[in-house]
Copies of this chain bind each other. A is one copy, B any other.
Amino acid sequence: MDAFAFARANRPRFLGELEEFLRIPSVSTQPEHQPDMLDAANWLRDQLLAVGFPRAEILPTAGHPIVFAEWSCRRPAAPTVLLYGHYDVQPADPLELWRTPPFEPVVVGDDLYARGASDDKGQLLAQIKAVESLSATAGEPPVSIRCLFEGEEESGSEHLDDFVTANRSILQADVALISDSSILSKDQPSIIYAVRGITYVEVEVTGPAGDLHSGRYGGAVHNPIHALAEMIAGLHDSQGRITIPGFYDRVQVLTPAERAGLARLPFDRHAWLREAGITTDWGEPEYSIVERTTARPTLDVNGIWGGYTQPGAKTVLPSKAFAKISMRLVPQQDPAEISRLIQDHFQAIAPPAVTVQVRELHHGQGAIVPLDSPAIQAAARAYAESFGAEPLFVREGGSLPVVATLRRELGIDSILMGFGLPDDNLHAPNEKLHLPNYFRGIDTVIRFLSYLA
């Protein structure tokens, strides 16, 4: 019996185990679920020991613990793959919108409904079940495996960086496999080969030393809200390009091949406009919407405030106005450098009558894996054979801090092989996992690990 036959024969048990895992309400952001977080970590450690990992333990962090496991392949040349996933889930609220209780898994047709089914317990367990299927039929996995399963992904992975930095030696690997994302549709697999970085700043504009009466001082005092609006308005040109000097210096021109690849992705502009709730798109006209939202750097004001913001009228000329601004960066851009550029830019454009302070709130590096790298090729072949369709290559518009952390601390690429679907209701009521994806996911990871061996 090979690994695929083993996986097929054990489907009922694999489903039952996932249901067991989903019954533990491991909500990391809610203190009342603290005991459940420990239950989930224990369950996961026991599961890893049960499938044969020689070492599996719960390692503390300043927050929720990490479940770590290690299974070294006896074959000397075997590479090491670091599996990443998270055992914590989003809160279930609003409870009244769930058709079935969030922590009582229910199968309806091909779908398994429960909080965490897709994000990320189902995907994490698919990784483990692939290792189990391989080792149960061959005595050991075809590559060395290390597992890094965190309990704080839904609360910002606050202690992951420190943990990885402090535990570099036990985490050393050749490549990471992250299963915490979606494919394009149930019959169309896809591989995320790039994630964007981010620089997030807060801008504080100060005009007069204190709030003034706008009827007494307006017209002769530069209102800091006006100054802020002028500066924000100037951050993009009329074509939606960012005007910060040097901002694009490290941005690589998209190759014709890459643009052709992105153009092949299924994209329905009308469906996208409907989903975004807008009537027309915006931005750099020479780039497609897919390119603008994933392969180009962007700048958005995420918040703005100043003066009187309560109901009714107050005639204040405020002392201060504020904005929060984030920039999504392509992998070649250096978030720390961009942080300096925007700080310098605000000083350069600040009108004479106000002062401007720009504070960085955080930044994170983007990442890209070459499409011709062996790991990406292995992932592509694994998907194609498991799903019966060649995967498409996509870039993620958002940021995945763990990718940058693993790159920085361990020097490795991350392969993002997800098995969720766009309609899985992540972070929403009635989260589900499409069960054929769970089983195909197991097959895909079996193949991926085998091809890397």
Contact = CB atoms under 8 A, between A and B. Distances in A.
A361 B229 CA distance: 22
A223 B313 contact: no
Contacts of A362: 313
A59 to B, nearest CB: 27
Nearest to A319: B277
Contacts of A79: none
Contact of A326 (B240, B302, B315): B315
Interface string A213-248: 111111111110110111011111000100000000
Nearest to A284: B219
B321 A304 contact: yes
A371 interface: no
A373 interface: no
Interface stretch (A62-70, A162-170, A203-211, A385-393): A203-211
Nearest to A298: B219
Contacts of A101: none
A312 interface: yes
A44 to B, nearest CB: 29
A228 to B, nearest CB: 7
Contact of A283 (B207, B215, B220, B312): B220
A306 interface: yes
Interface in A267-310: 276-284, 289, 292-293, 296-309
Contacts of A328: 214-215, 218-219
Nearest to A310: B303
Contacts of A322: 309
A254 interface: no
Interface residues of A, number: 78
Contacts of A316: 302-303
A441 interface: no
Contacts of A209: 276-278
A316 B304 CA distance: 12
A247 to B, nearest CB: 13
Given A292-B219, A292-B220, A303-B307, A277 B213 contact: no
B233 A229 contact: yes
B317 A307 contact: no
Given A220-B293, A281-B221, A324-B307, A398 B215 contact: yes
A352 interface: yes
B236 A232 contact: no
B398 A279 contact: no
A237 to B, nearest CB: 11
Contact of A324 (B196, B198, B284, B308): B308
A162 to B, nearest CB: 19
A200 interface: yes
Contact of A361 (B220, B223, B307, B313): B313
Interface string A385-426: 000000000000111000000000000000000000000000
A75 to B, nearest CB: 41
A225 B277 contact: no
Contact of A208 (B215, B234, B278, B304): B278
Which interface residue of A214, A233, A293 has the most chain B CB atoms within 10 A? A214
A12 to B, nearest CB: 37
Contacts of A299: 218
Contacts of A221: 276, 278, 281-283
Interface of A: 196, 198, 200, 207-210, 212-223, 225-226, 228-230, 232-236, 240, 276-284, 289, 292-293, 296-309, 312-319, 321-324, 326, 328, 351-353, 361-362, 397-399
Given A214-B300, A218-B326, 10 more contacts: A200-B313, A213-B398, A214-B326, A217-B293, A219-B283, A219-B298, A221-B278, A226-B301, A300-B317, A304-B309
